[in-house]
Amino acid sequence: MTIFRPFALLAACALAALAAPAALAQDSAPDTESASSTPAAPEPQVRTRDMSGTFGGQRINYRVTIRENLLSADDGTPEAMVVTTSYVRTPRDTSRPVFFMFNGGPGSGSVWLQMGAFGPVRVAIPPDARDDGGPPYPILPNPDSLLDVADLVFIDPPGTGFSYLLEGTDPARYYGLTQDAVAVAAVIRRWLNENGRWNSPKFLGGESYGTTRTATVIDQLEGSTFNDVAFNGLILISTILDFAAREPTPGNEMAYVVTLPNMATAAYYHGRVQAPSVEAIAEEARRFAIGPYITALLQGADLPDAERTRVRAEMSRLTGLSEAYLDRANLRVTSQRFYKELLRDQGLTIGRLDSRYTGIDYDNAGETPDNDPSFYGIDAGYTAAINSWSRETLGFETDREYQSIGREPGRHWDWTLAGQGRNAYLNVAPYIGRAMRENSGLRTFVAQGWYDFATPFFGAELSLNRMGIPQDRIVYRYYGAGHMMYVRDEDRQRLSEDIRAFIRAR
């Protein structure tokens, strides 16, 4: 699900000096002295069901296990409960690949990928960018699940889904780029132990901030000099790795460069510009953005009038915005302004997560939309589906609310990378580069929606074509929807086929 805005992250060297925040609870009972000084740990809940379904054209029997995993500090103090939902083909086959995945936020539960894309059932959302309306929402068998090619493990990191911090736990020990990665890596190691899957082919991936998490988790698992866990593939859906270009603060020109191709594709979708295809307008906009446009922006106040005129005219042709508006904006249009301006004459705003969606604001005079129609257009159906599936079908019992987009992690999130200060250039793509250089069998799959402003496709491309990242082992695929491209039936099927082929080609 969508990312939220950054604040700061704890250095790995500092983490090493602290008691490990995500050591998993031991099965053995604590000694008497520890028991007297350590709060009693809650008993982790485990629920299993044996089911069957047809996925990728194959009839598959599988066991679904929803499990609470207790995490504790080095001194045995219980700190967090992390919920995993696993779908494992029966009878068990240790030669089968296993795909670990999560969503983003950083406070988002795995509901979106689990109930929208890859789980054995899915919630039916209107595929044509209409609001999902009121319940009941159909929960249907999902033939596009990947269970025919891999066992699936959905992880809800602390503060997301049904996962939570125990009373008294300092949020700083889990809510941060590195802290979160340490916890997720520990849960993955535990799952491999309990399921006897250390030598199985392994894939790791996520959506949105989940792609950021993929980079930090692979650094924990493959970047370690001890207990190294190697993977066969990384699967990045709606990618955000380089955060420097996400904030359009004065002087940060790259924020405008990265989103301009998205403005062109959105304008194309809504009929404001003409092109042979969305691929064609995207390529025109890429070339303009990285060429004449960035050159003009970098000249600042020294930009000659004649060049400004030429750039303004081409920008208008690509984005559908008037030259007069672009002139008033000084050639620098924020995404928020674009959502409001593109269809202002129709009294409509467009979506951030998916610019195919449109909404109606309280009035038509504002600078920015009241809300994101591409989020409120789908969220209710997903929330209903995950609660119905987990509680009523799988029998998971809890009084806790499912956090599809939890506020607490975002409020406390530490965005500082190892050895860097609070305002450092935040870019986790080098973690992927290092993992690929040091593991010749590791490949990366990148899925992007043409209409996604939350994690723009051009930003994903620019973050991954840097030096030090093996380009011959990266696969890009593009889809005709937005951030959650799988809400569109055609794209869900294509995404499933593309990832299925990626896993099989290991």
Output the domain CATH number for residue 234. 3.40.50.1820
Domain that holds residue 343: 254-376
* Residue 373: φ, ψ to 5°: -65, -20
Neighbours of 155 (CB within 10 A): 28
Same domain, 359 and 397: no
Neighbours of 323 (CB within 10 A): 13
Alpha carbon distance, N-terminus to C-terminus of the chain: 27
Same domain, 338 and 216: no
* Residue 216: φ, ψ to 5°: -70, -35
Same domain, 263 and 407: no
Point out the domain boundary residue: 376, 404, 435: 376
Burial of 47 (0-12, 13-18, 19+ CB in 10 A): middle
Q: Is residue 268 part of a domain?
A: yes
Q: Is residue 5 part of a domain?
A: no
Same domain, 234 and 275: no
Task: Give the Å distances, CA to CA, from 301 to 304, 308, 326.
Answer: 8, 11, 16
Spell out a b/e string for 259-283, using b for 16 or more CB atoms within 10 Å of the CB, else e: bbbbbbbbbbbbebbebeebeebbe
Using alpha carbons only, give the angle 457, 463, 467 rounded to the nearest 5 degrees: 140
Assign 3-state DSSP to the chain and report helix, strand, coil percentages, each to 5: 40, 20, 45
Q: What DSSP element (H or E) covers 101?
A: strand 98-102
Same domain, 345 and 443: no
Q: How would you classify the pairing of strands 46-55 and 23-24?
A: unpaired
Strands (E), 227-340: 233-239
Q: Is residue 260 part of a domain?
A: yes
The 3-state DSSP class for residue 279 equals helix
Same domain, 17 and 148: yes
* R_g of the chain, CA atoms, integer Å: 23
Point out the domain boundary residue: 323, 341, 376: 376
Q: Is residue 18 part of a domain?
A: yes
Point out the domain boundary residue: 318, 349, 376: 376
Structure tokens at 239: 């990618």
The 3-state DSSP class for residue 296 equals helix
Q: Is residue 2 part of a domain?
A: no
The per-residue pLDDT string of the chain (506 residues; one tens digit each, 9 = 90 and over) reads 444 433 333 333 333 333 344 444 433 334 444 444 556 778 999 999 999 999 999 999 999 999 999 999 988 899 999 999 999 999 999 999 999 999 998 999 999 999 999 999 999 988 887 877 888 999 999 999 999 999 999 999 999 999 999 999 999 999 999 999 999 999 999 999 999 999 999 999 999 999 999 999 999 999 866 678 999 999 999 999 998 777 777 888 999 999 999 999 999 999 999 999 999 999 999 999 999 999 999 999 999 999 999 999 999 999 999 999 999 999 999 999 999 999 999 999 999 999 999 999 999 898 988 998 888 878 788 999 999 999 999 999 999 999 988 888 888 899 888 656 555 678 999 999 999 999 999 999 999 999 999 999 999 999 999 999 999 999 999 999 999 999 999 999 999 999 999 999 97
pLDDT for 2 = 45
Same domain, 369 and 393: no
pLDDT for 423 = 57
Q: Is residue 475 part of a domain?
A: yes
Q: Is residue 382 part of a domain?
A: no
Same domain, 222 and 168: yes
Q: Note the pTM of the prediction, 2 decimals.
A: 0.90
Residue type at 368?
Answer: T
Q: What DSSP element (H or E) covers 151?
A: strand 151-156
Same domain, 308 and 430: no
Same domain, 329 and 476: no
Same domain, 19 and 65: yes
> Residue 177 in contact with residue 416, Cβ under 8 Å?
yes
Same domain, 336 and 210: no
Q: Is residue 249 part of a domain?
A: no
User: Per the structure, how many domains does the chain have?
Assistant: 2
